[in-house]
Structure 1
Amino acid sequence: MSLEVSSLYFSYAKNSRLILDDVSFSVGEGDLLAVLGPNGVGKSTMFRCILGFLPHYQGNIHLNGRNIRTMDHREIAKYIAYIPQSTYPVFNYTVLDVVLMGLTNRVNLLASPNQNHIDEAYAAMKSLGIAHLRDAGYGEISGGERQLALIARALVQKAKILIMDEPTANLDYGNQFRVMCRISDLAREGYSIILSTHNPDHAFLYANRTLMIYGGRVIADGTPEEVLDASLIKDVYGVDVHIEDYQYGSRRHKLCIPIDGGVGK
């Protein structure tokens, strides 16, 4: 499964400023692409274009070589699943019910899930370590568990491309680690994952590709080790950092460390 975005331009009104300005990138099977950039640079807008929610863009978006302009929302949902930030629900559905909502592109609107569907949902929950929460209220579990439930919902959708909008936002340190480990596992299983994050260390620790967006444009695209350096972080976020090589046992990676609090002078 491949996704290719070519020369993507978007603005919310005619003659208004461009939110996306000539954005191009691609992802393939097993890629985990970390999209970085400060607030308001167009990351969520780009996701909505890819999902077909904002069709009035210029440029091209192709799924396995097919232009998504020729596909309706239900068909796009066969290939791409969206995992939003975990939020507190209005209705306290069970976790199983939330996961079963991933069937909307596969089951008739008025139909009820059958036992096979329930088994699929349970298997997805089990693969993410939340099977024991099957009958728990979605509003009564932790933020990290809610995020894993949303990922399980995406797995039930059977889409092989997962788009995640800041999946660790508002999570404590432990839940951030658990969620990112599960996401990394999915990439190793062959899912193509695009996630936005504000933490460069997420890119260093988990991603094989990094896309830095600033001012609506792609200013860096490559492996985290190649493109994420102290100069880029300073230019984009306005903080001074040191990129440190770190090794523990056989594992080696880089870390982003603020200098003197990180505030540029």
Structure 2
Amino acid sequence: MAGRYTLADVLATRKSRDSWWTVYLVDPLACPVALVVANHTRWTPNGLTAGSLVLGMASAVCFGLDQLVAGAALFYVSFLLDCVDGKIARLKGTGTPFGLWLDYVGDRIRVVCCATGLAYGQFTLTHDVIYVVLGAVVAVLDLFRYVNAPQMKRVRGAILGPPVPGRPASPPEGPRFMPGLNGFLARHRVRAHLISGIEFHAAVFVVAPLTGVLLPIAAVASVLLLANEVFIVYRMWLFTRRVPAVPQESRQHALIGG
């Protein structure tokens, strides 16, 4: 029924902690869009995810044709729809396991295609192989980040086994800022970290094309993301050294995915 949801309902679907790019530059627009979609359309979360992927492919084509501003704009709208689909799923309770898979895989396809389009467009224009290398680096870093995260979760489960009082719940995630700043960020729903995958995508596919400063911005973002991932792995390694061992059967159970 039209008008049954309010903006407050949509705001309640936001994640408790999110990327600063999402909190400040996407959610202020995504929430009103989600309200209109929820009250005045029959679009499903999976349909929105598919639309986001189509726009992502259009962004990649624009990058390949050296239409950088159009490519950046389409990438932003594609990501905005990707945020809206999750809000609609939580608002209406219509999320599905297949939808989670589609959202995850769609994101990876969008990034790989946009990295390829950006590299192809700039190589065609300049004949400088550095753009091909950069496109490959961006794609590999993104894939590594999203393969590494679930594997680290499985390792954490193998280490900890069943919950035990007094045992740390999880290893630290990434570089943290000073406590006062952490508290400020938490109050504003912003995750405290060096850089996230979302901010990496925003830097490479939105900020860099819009400013025309492709190589420096993409290179710095890539170095920061790699540093963040290395730091997370290092913290996990430290965590594994100080957490008491769990029975071997618990480790096997967690690693198998049970």
Relative to the length of structure 1, the TM-score reads: 0.26
- Greater helix proportion: 2
User: Which has the larger strand fraction?
Assistant: 1
Larger radius of gyration between Structure 1 and Structure 2: 2
